Amino acid sequence: MASSAAGSVPKSAYRRPLYVFEAPVRIWHWLHALSVVVLSVTGYLIANPLPSIGGEASEHFLMGNLRMIHFIAAYVFAIGFAVRIYWGFVGNKYSRELLYLPVWRGEWWRALFEEVKYYLFLRREPPHSDAHNALAQSAMWFFNTLLGLFMIVSGFALYGEGLGLGSWADTGFGWAIPLLGGSQQVRMLHTLGMWLFIVFTILHIYMAIRADIMSSQSSVSAIISGWRTYRD
Amino acid sequence: MPVQETFYEVMRQHGITRRSFLKFCSLTAAGLGLGPEFAGKIAYALETKPRTPVIWLHGLECTCCTESFIRSGNPLAGDVILSMISLDYDDTLMAAAGHQAEELLEQTIEKYDGQYILACEGNPPLNEDGMYCIQGGKPYVEKLRHMADHCKAIIAWGSCASWGCVQAARPNPTRATPIHKVILDKPVIKVPGCPPIAEVMTGVITYMIAFDELPELDRQGRPKMFYSQRLHDKCYRRPHFDAGQFVERFDDEGARKGYCLYKVGCKGPTTYNACSTLEWNGGLSWPVKSGHGCLGCAEDNFWDKGSFYSAVTNFGSLGGAEATADKIGGILAGAAAVGVAAHAAASAISHIKSSKSRGARHE
Amino acid sequence: MSKTVTANGFALDDAGQRIVVDPICRIEGHLRIEVNVDENNTIRNAVSTGNMWRGLEIILKGRDPRDAWAFTERICGVCTGVHALASCRAVEDALDIEIPRNANSIRNLMMLAQYTQDHLVHFYHLHALDWVDVVSALKADPVATSALQQSLSPWPKSSPGYFRDVQNRIRRFVESGQLGPFANAYWGSPAYKLPPEANLMAVTHYLEALDFQKEIVKIHTIFGGRNPHPNWLVGGMPCSINVNETGAVGAINMAWLNQVSDIINKSITFVDQVYIPDLKAIASFYKDWTYGGGLSGKNVMAYGEFPAIANNYTNESWMLPNGAILNGDLSTVHDVDPRDPEQVREFVTHSWYEYPDPDAGLHPWDGVTEPRFELGPNAKGTKTNIEALDEGAKYSWLKAPRWRGHAMEVGPLARYLVAYARGQEDIKMQVDGLLSDLGLPITALFSTLGRTAARGLECSWAAHKMRTVFDDMMANIKAGDVATANMQKWEPDTWPDDTKGVGFGEAPRGALGHWIHIRDTKIANYQAVVPTTWNASPRDPEGNIGAYEAALLGTPMADPEQPLEILRTIHSFDPCLACATH
Ligand code: HEM
Ligand code: HEM
Ligand code: NFV
Ligand code: SF4
Ligand code: SF4
Ligand code: F3S
Ligand SMILES: [Mg+2]
């Protein structure tokens, strides 16, 4: 049955800790998490600015600073993203799990199905996986890799509007603006992307903590230390 | 054969001295954002060439682009029409009517095949076999195609010709279609705006005549000289934007102080046009300067992107109400949070249950 | 059909030669006129067809009522702003919003500026060439032209050298062979009556007016940010006033107010020293061209415009009054109420639209816009190549609006007749002055020329009125009131669930109304009934013909091949087809 390949290991068997998340992945993860939070907060405030402040314009730079922080975080996000993709090629086999979904493998689908069953309480114990279970992997791929790429493309396309026609950002990403239906449309989609990141973050943090409490394998400590440990 | 007079000759006959002619050329060069060395080139071109024939067609539109055109102060619209170009057909201004007017189209094709500029204001509707815009008993789109077949280049005046504009707003009952989607085999220069600024219109024409070439265009077919920056990039209220000083309500304290209009819906950050630099009607003002946010009138489909008074864009409609990214996102995030809470509760219950049963067994 | 008499008393005969003029040029939009002429080349049947439709009433459904002004403003760029104003008024009426006094003054100024510019451009650029022979101007003596000009007005541009320069410019232009917009026209036709000097003077002013009109609209630019298509706001105006506080440079300030004042002065001068003298001079040569009265001597209507008192849209407040005159009876002026379902109704029996009950009229609050293009059985040609229309069936993109079942003429002449009949002093003085200058009776107004003359008088009236309105506004600002917008009911949660409103007034071309139905904060229905819809209207189920069709009847054509007489009369209405069909 499903349990043999990706399924659960007999409960009683002791498993040795496994080194899953190499240092670059861990460092990236936390930088990435930080940048997403900063990008979301500043992005939200760019779209929905705070109440006006009085005084002379020259004395304040609130929106300007928010935008600057957004752009700094955006660089962290984008460079981190690129490094993480690179690491996917040179890192351990778990580091590749973020790059693609093995949709051509039947057992991957079966594992996905089992994982869904687990979250629907149709199965008591989670199926076993080393790095990411199939459900988490799918979520990471859609909500992080693909969406992250979209945020970078749309974000730098918007950034190129400020840098000007012919700037590197315009040359590299400006094509996205007419493709997506104009500047206003791009901002709208960019904002929608933020909300998807927020949705992912909520689910992701919940599942990480839940896994720590309820399953037999370590989760939060794994993304801190790199080692996946097993209980029971 | 009658001699074709040049622009320069016409200016001279108009009582204009060579000195002021040259001044006109350098003003034109400056207006186009070109250095003084170009004044000479413009002068040379205007001194030697016969007036370029222009056919100006009108489709579904409000004729505001024509109205804008005649507001041009530099060059004066009268000078453009009478001296720079030869406006061989324009149903809004021409003296002839009916078949005498229509004959002029064929005469132009005969005399200037491949040489005239086709200026299109408005657009053709394609539903009902094109009969939502009838000219001479026939669908306008036929006339447009026929005249496009023989022209040198097409100027799409305004947002109607460039993008579709108001009649193409949802649900576009007539299937009003922009020029570049009907004429596929000729260069189309889009000069969007609802309407475009007068001096942008005359600037584009002057450039084409003086340099005898098409202006350099951006990705979307707009002349770079006027459409390469957003209003927001050159807006004089930008310091208030950067500071975080906004008009919260029309006619509030901030409005009287000239704060940024972002929160009352200004589309300057997403609109490519020359308003914040050239301004309107001889550089007097522009929408933002007179207190109303930019509507985004030079952008594709600006009618269907949500309220003109909200910074937020509509995503489409969701069960009757507009869906904005914040609304959809908020709902999704809320649902995720609720889902997580419910799932956590369910997990806790099942956890307790299972440990109880396990515990029971152990006993 | 052959011979009939219409319900509104016009004899029609479609037996003779059918003449088609399409496009009618020098108008806004696309209009087709077909006429039948008898053996003496006199027009005996006339058919007016709106050649375009865009569907704005459909497009407006489901949208935010606060955005509607921007959509409706794009109904027309020639009478720019007037639909925006009607729309704001309609929404304010539906939501019970009162606008501040300054907003009322600014709106009046913008509308008056629109009248002034629109009328000026119409006279010189859209209408003059029906009366003025450009080619004949070449034969003029510049010295005599200068004398003529100086005898008419103190306008300074009047030297012989000035006229010689203009004449030379035209000569070179004509000799170049590139006649541009003047090509293939009717120059030399015996229908032109002006001496060469008057022609040269008028052509000169054609050019001067083209330069000047762009100055008038700067009033829109200052208050509305641009022209064409300035910005408006439900609840007032978007421009704030700040004359004495920090940041005044970012609002309507003293410098801009001075500029408005200056434009007003220049407009008064131009209209009174150029337009009005030209109008009188030209009219004096065409006094015996008495055709084109149509409905003007019978049924005319005005809704009223320029509220002197903010938020008061009644005759107590209108500077140009509301009223309807029936059957030429100037002694009785009926009140017109656009809310009354018995009064304003639109029919589509002869229009390319469909109603649930095809012959019933609908009040605009219940109006339906459902296109249906079809040609009648007697039409000639094919669907996409119409040779002649069948006016017995559907034949126009215009609906047929009626007031208590009557076809009405609207526009400057209608407004002036209503004001005259109501005994309004300023208008009476102007009209009586012109008639006595030309030595004509009041009935001479019921004609093509009367329509053109009323427009000229109104242009002057509007320019002067700007001064009054501006001075009032300055007094109000001086008294400390700088408010321009009332935002109390800006948020949709302050609105009733289901409400209706009407915004009405007078556009340059005549009575304009927008009817709105707001349900659940969105537009449930929106209907516009526009001046040119009244004037260029097709027939109604009773067979009443509209103002254009009526005005063409009985006009002799010098040469049926050259539709100069048709152009004269149709142009006298200042057609706007984008408006009419929207
Ligand atoms: C307090 C916040 C967070 C915690 C506690 C947390 C925890 C974790 C844990 C435990 C894992 C390992 C998953 C596994 O065991 O399979 C993980 C991986 C991951 N997390 Fe987070 N996370 C946080 C925030 C975020 C945020 C904000 C993002 C991005 C939006 C994010 C993106 C990811 C990604 C992409 C991975 C996969 C790493 C890899 O395989 O390379 N995390 N996180
Ligand atoms: C998870 C990643 C990101 C999130 C959540 C995010 C979020 C946002 C949001 C909500 C806005 C406001 C949009 C609006 O006004 O409607 C915004 C604006 C913007 N973002 Fe991002 N963003 C992200 C990544 C990026 C990246 C990678 C860039 C690249 C430079 C970028 C550049 C911009 C720019 C240029 C703007 C427009 C700012 C302005 O014009 O004032 N963003 N972002
Ligand atoms: N008819 C009409 Fe208009 C006017 N005046 C609108 O209401 O012209 Ni375009
Ligand atoms: S682009 Fe706008 S202004 Fe120009 S014709 Fe179209 S609707 Fe009118
Ligand atoms: S007013 Fe508009 S264009 Fe100007 S800074 Fe503010 S948002 Fe940008
Ligand atoms: S509405 Fe149009 S006119 Fe300029 S300021 Fe915006 S692009
Ligand atoms: Mg209507």
Looking at the domain assignment, is residue B65 inside a domain?
A: yes
CA-wise closest residue to B306 among C95, A197, A47: A47
| Calpha distance B26→B35 (Å, rounded) | 9
Higher pLDDT, B357 or C234: C234
Could you say which of B229, B243, B336 has the minimum Cβ distance to residue A61?
B243
- Based on the fold, state whether residues B258 and B204 are members of the same structural domain: no
Could you say which of B233, B271, B351 has the minimum Cβ distance to residue A214?
B351
- B212-261 per-position pLDDT tens digit: 899 999 999 999 999 999 999 999 999 999 999 999 999 999 999 999 99
- Based on the fold, state whether residues B247 and B156 are members of the same structural domain: no
Output the pLDDT for position B363: 43
- C519-531 per-position pLDDT tens digit: 999 999 999 999 9
Q: In CATH, which superfamily holds the domain spanning A19-28+35-50+60-228?
A: Transmembrane di-heme cytochromes, Chain C (1.20.950.20)
Output the pLDDT for position C521: 95
Q: How far apart are the first and last CA of chain C?
A: 31
Output the pLDDT for position B18: 66
- B98-127 per-position pLDDT tens digit: 999 999 999 999 999 999 999 999 999 999
Output the pLDDT for position B316: 60
- The protein residue whose alpha carbon is closest to atom 28 in ligand 1 is A33
Residue A10 has pLDDT above 50, yes or no: no
Given B285, B304, B323, the domain boundary residue is B304
Q: Is the CB of C16 under 6 A from ligand 3?
A: no
Q: What distance lies between CA C370 and its chain's CA centroid?
A: 26
- Based on the fold, state whether residues B167 and B300 are members of the same structural domain: no
Percent of chain C with pLDDT over 90: 97
Q: Model confidence at C409, in pLDDT bands (50, 70, 90)?
A: very high
- Based on the fold, state whether residues B214 and B65 are members of the same structural domain: yes
- The pick from A190, A195, A199 for probing ligand 2's pocket by mutation, whose C-beta has the most ligand atoms within 8 angstroms, reads A190
- In this structure, are strands C11-13 and B85-90 parallel, antiparallel, or unpaired? unpaired
User: Which three-class secondary structure string do you get for chain B?
Assistant: CCCCCEHHHHHHHCCCCHHHHHHHHHHHHHHCCCCCHHHHHHHHHHHHCECEEEEEEECECCCHHHHHHCCCECCEHHHHHHHHEEEEEECCCCCCCHHHHHHHHHHHHHHHCCCCEEEEECECECHHHHCCEEECCEEHHHHHHHHHHCCCEEEEEHHHHHCCCHHHCCCCCCCECCHHHCCCCCCEEEECCCCCCHHHHHHHHHHHHHHCCCCCECCCCCEHHHHCCEHHHCCCCHHHHHHCCECCCCCCHHHHHCCECHHHCCCHHHCECCHHHHCECCCCECHHHHCCCCCCCCCCCHHHCCCCCCCCCEEEEECCEEEEHHHHHHHHHHHHHHHHHHHHHHHHHHHHHHHHHHHHHHC
User: Is B313 within 8 Å of A49 when comparing Cβ atoms?
Assistant: no
Q: How far is the CA of C576 from the centre of ligand 4 (A)?
A: 15
Q: How far is the CA of C207 from the centre of ligand 5 (A)?
A: 38
Give contacts of C168 with chain B, Cβ < 8 Å. Answer: 13
**CATH number of B273's domain:** 4.10.480.10
Looking at the domain assignment, is residue B278 inside a domain?
A: yes
Q: What is the DSSP letter of C528?
A: E
Domain span including residue B264: 231-304
Looking at the domain assignment, is residue B354 inside a domain?
A: no
Q: Model confidence at C400, in pLDDT bands (50, 70, 90)?
A: very high
Residue B14 has pLDDT above 90, yes or no: no
Given B192, B225, B258, the domain boundary residue is B225
- C12-65 per-position pLDDT tens digit: 999 999 999 999 999 999 999 999 999 999 999 999 999 999 999 999 999 999
Percent of chain C with pLDDT over 70: 100
- Based on the fold, state whether residues B289 and B204 are members of the same structural domain: no
Output the pLDDT for position B35: 66
Percent of chain A with pLDDT over 70: 94
The whole-angstrom distance between C10's CA and the closest CA on chain B is: 26
- C466-513 per-position pLDDT tens digit: 999 999 999 999 999 999 999 999 999 999 999 999 999 999 999 999
Residue C308 has pLDDT above 60, yes or no: yes
Residue B4 has pLDDT above 70, yes or no: no
Output the pLDDT for position C267: 98
Given B304, B331, B357, the domain boundary residue is B304
Q: Provide mean pLDDT across the span C512-516.
A: 98
Number of domains in chain B: 2
Q: Is the CB of C512 under 6 A from ligand 3?
A: yes
| Calpha distance C379→C381 (Å, rounded) | 7
| Calpha distance A141→C533 (Å, rounded) | 60
- Based on the fold, state whether residues B42 and B177 are members of the same structural domain: yes
- Based on the fold, state whether residues B221 and B238 are members of the same structural domain: no
Give contacts of B300 with chain A, Cβ < 8 Å. Answer: 181-182
Stated as kind and residue range, the H or E segment containing A145 is none
Higher pLDDT, B270 or C2: B270
Give contacts of B74 with chain C, Cβ < 8 Å. Answer: none
To the nearest whole number, what is the mean pLDDT of chain A? 90
Output the pLDDT for position B315: 67
- Based on the fold, state whether residues B32 and B103 are members of the same structural domain: yes
Report the neighbours of A using a cutoff of 3 or more CB pairs below 8 angstroms.
Answer: B
The ipTM estimated for the assembled molecules is 0.94
Q: Provide mean pLDDT across the span C217-239.
A: 98
Q: Which tokens go with A160?
A: 């190129």
Task: Point out the ligand nearest to the CA of residue A38.
Answer: 2
Output the pLDDT for position C325: 98
The whole-angstrom distance between B213's CA and the closest CA on chain C is: 22
Looking at the domain assignment, is residue B332 inside a domain?
A: no
Output the pLDDT for position C523: 97
Q: Is the CB of A45 under 6 A from ligand 2?
A: no
- Based on the fold, state whether residues B176 and B90 are members of the same structural domain: yes
- B121-151 per-position pLDDT tens digit: 999 999 999 999 999 999 999 999 999 999 9
| Calpha distance A51→C512 (Å, rounded) | 41
Q: What is the DSSP letter of C398?
A: S
- Based on the fold, state whether residues B175 and B258 are members of the same structural domain: no
Output the pLDDT for position C73: 98
- A62-72 per-position pLDDT tens digit: 999 999 999 99
SS3 content of chain A, % helix, strand, coil (to 5): 65, 5, 30
B352 at the C interface (CB within 8 A)? no
Predicted model pTM:
0.93
| Calpha distance C1→C4 (Å, rounded) | 7
Residue A141 has pLDDT above 60, yes or no: yes
- A50-109 per-position pLDDT tens digit: 999 988 899 999 999 999 999 999 999 999 999 999 999 999 999 999 999 998 999 999
Q: Provide mean pLDDT across the span B317-342.
A: 81
**CATH number of B109's domain:** 3.40.50.700
Q: Is C157 helix (H, G, I), strand (E, B) or coil?
A: coil
Q: How far is the CA of B65 from the centre of ligand 4 (A)?
A: 6
To the nearest whole number, what is the mean pLDDT of chain C? 97
Residue C340 has pLDDT above 60, yes or no: yes
Q: Model confidence at A11, in pLDDT bands (50, 70, 90)?
A: very low
- In this structure, are strands B117-121 and B52-58 parallel, antiparallel, or unpaired? parallel
Task: Point out the ligand nearest to the CA of residue A49.
Answer: 2
| Calpha distance B285→B275 (Å, rounded) | 8
Percent of chain A with pLDDT over 90: 71
- Based on the fold, state whether residues B199 and B252 are members of the same structural domain: no
Q: Provide mean pLDDT across the span A28-36.
A: 97
Q: Is the CB of A157 under 6 A from ligand 2?
A: no
Looking at the domain assignment, is residue B349 inside a domain?
A: no
- Based on the fold, state whether residues B214 and B251 are members of the same structural domain: no
Residue B322 has pLDDT above 90, yes or no: no
